[in-house]
Amino acid sequence: MSPVSQSAPGTFTFPVRVYYEDTDTAGIVYYANYLRYLERGRTEWLRALGVEQLRLAQETGLVFAVRSLSIEYLKPARLDDQLAVLTELTLPGRAQVTLKQWIERDGETLVEATVRVACLDARKMKPAALPAEIRRKMGAE
């Protein structure tokens, strides 16, 4: 699997290997670590679109924050598994976006999540409109 890839049109794939530190004593991924994998998938999706979050914050004062997340754990991942974190924009908005994310092992879905991410003015911690250029890169325009 390549380091990052574009799967089906509009779906971004990011590979993750399960390390010992990700697991419990039975060698199964601890449930909260899936949230880390999903965050990496979103971050790398933005990076692949040309959106560097640190630069965005420094230049515009805008940051992203998870507003809500719904997750379903379907099957466990285990130590040394090679996983794919898939990210797809499902509902673009002016100041927030909703993403469908899921984690697969060899094409089998282990976790499904719906994530709503808000764009915020970092100084005021209030919602702010996504810049038009970012909306365009996301395919939201």
What amino acid positions are annotated as catalytic residues? 24
Residues in a beta bridge with 42: none
Backbone angles phi, psi at 103, to 5 degrees: -120, 130
Q: Rg of the chain's alpha carbons, rounded to an integer?
A: 16
**Residue partners of 106: CB distance under 8 A and separation at least 6:** none
